[in-house]
Amino acid sequence: MRPSPVTPLLLLALAACDRAAPVAPAAGRDAAAADRGPLPDAAPAPDAPEDVIFPLPPCSDRSPLGLAACVEAARYQADLEAIAMPRVPQSAHWQAVQDICADRLTSLGFTVERHAYGTGLNVVGVREGGAEPARRVLIGAHYDHIAGCAGADDNASGVAGALEAARVLSRRRYPYTLVVACWDEEERGLIGSRAYATRARMRSEVIDAYFNFEMIGYIDRAPNSQRLPVGTALVFPAAAREYEARERRGDFLAAIGNARASDALAALERSADRLGLPFIPLNLSAELMSSPAVGDLRRSDHASFWDTGYPGIMLTDT
């Protein structure tokens, strides 16, 4: 069985194609074939995760479903295992993971910036779009963690996911510019992503959507394995009803977005429906954004984009 973390990557590949249809195969594919996997239709798609109902076609650049089928669990697992060791900022493994992000994105054809902002360093990879390169779609995850902990789910799982999403999405070119980032100092208060989002706003950059991978590595299909924060049913009654109907299982992917991200959240939901993935969206209104009742929903790098006026969505195993 493929591990559950590949399911949000399938979802994101579909949603990215839904929002910005690919316009041409990526240049230089032959030179990067060893890293990017089989060429279109050269091999059958890997086995789908257990909770994917919709059968996937062979890996192919020619359709959103074909692109989603190019996600490879083995690559994801290898990156997860390489990243999941203590990586306090400025430590040796923090530097090693920073280098993994930079080297991988470079090998995939991204232009890589080591964005030093004073107290830390983000790794930001950019693949310029074709028709409308000034418009950007971002994917990101934080690579730092606290002392004395391997941080496998928080957030090696997200970094490995961002890198695998970068590999799959780099098989095509898109009208919009694709940005993939490894953020620093999330654990110290979202410092790295906030520095980037603030700079983007000062530069008047157009960001159509930011997708944040935060803890995507855990699943539990046993009844009553999931708990919701107190008050969730009052704020998100539809989500609470779906949670109860699923017998309180921890087997779903949550997508938490602000009002500006409504279109991107809808694209994710359509993709989840096509794949048969358990998916619960939470769309925060402008009024809810300032409420202390949803404070726990701001505890990752998507909140940096919310606070600077950009659309942001956190994908998480909850």
Structural domain count of the chain: 1
- Beta-carbon contacts of 34 under 8 Å, excluding residues fewer than 6 positions away, are none
**124 phi/psi in degrees, rounded to 5:** -125, 120
* Per-residue pLDDT at 192 exceeds 70: yes
In a domain, 94, yes or no: yes
Give pLDDT tens digits for 74-121.
999 999 999 999 999 999 999 999 999 999 999 999 999 999 999 999
* Per-residue pLDDT at 263 exceeds 80: yes
- Residue 193 has what pLDDT? 98
In a domain, 258, yes or no: yes
Over range 241-268, report the average pLDDT: 94
Q: Distance between CA 231 and CA 114 in Å, rounded? A: 41
In a domain, 155, yes or no: yes
Rg (CA), the chain: 18
Which residue type, as a one-letter code, is found at position 222?
A
* Per-residue pLDDT at 45 exceeds 70: no
In a domain, 241, yes or no: no
Strand partners, 282: 256
The CATH number that applies at residue 67 is: 3.40.630.10
Parallel, antiparallel or unpaired: strands 206-213 and 172-173: unpaired
pTM to 2 decimal places: 0.87
Picking from 2, 6, 12, 5, the residue whose alpha carbon sits closest to that of residue 274 is 12
Q: Distance between CA 260 and CA 231 in Å, rounded? A: 24
* Per-residue pLDDT at 318 exceeds 90: no
Q: Which residue has the higher pLDDT, 38 or 45?
A: 45
Q: How many CB atoms lie within 10 A of CB 27?
A: 10
Give pLDDT tens digits for 135-168.
999 999 999 999 999 999 999 999 999 999 999 9
DSSP strands (E only) in 48-120: 111-116
In a domain, 235, yes or no: no
Mean pLDDT of the chain: 86
Full residue range of the structural domain in which residue 108 is found: 6-218+252-316
- Strand, coil or helix: what is 11? helix
Q: Distance between CA 43 and CA 45 in Å, rounded? A: 6
* Per-residue pLDDT at 49 exceeds 60: no
pLDDT band at 295 (very low <50, low <70, confident <90, very high): confident
Collect contacts of 99-105 with beta carbons under 8 A, ≥24 apart: 100/163, 101/125, 101/143, 101/159, 101/163, 101/182, 104/163, 104/166, 104/167, 105/163, 105/166, 105/180
In a domain, 229, yes or no: no
In a domain, 280, yes or no: yes
In a domain, 282, yes or no: yes
Q: Distance between CA 58 and CA 42 in Å, rounded? A: 8
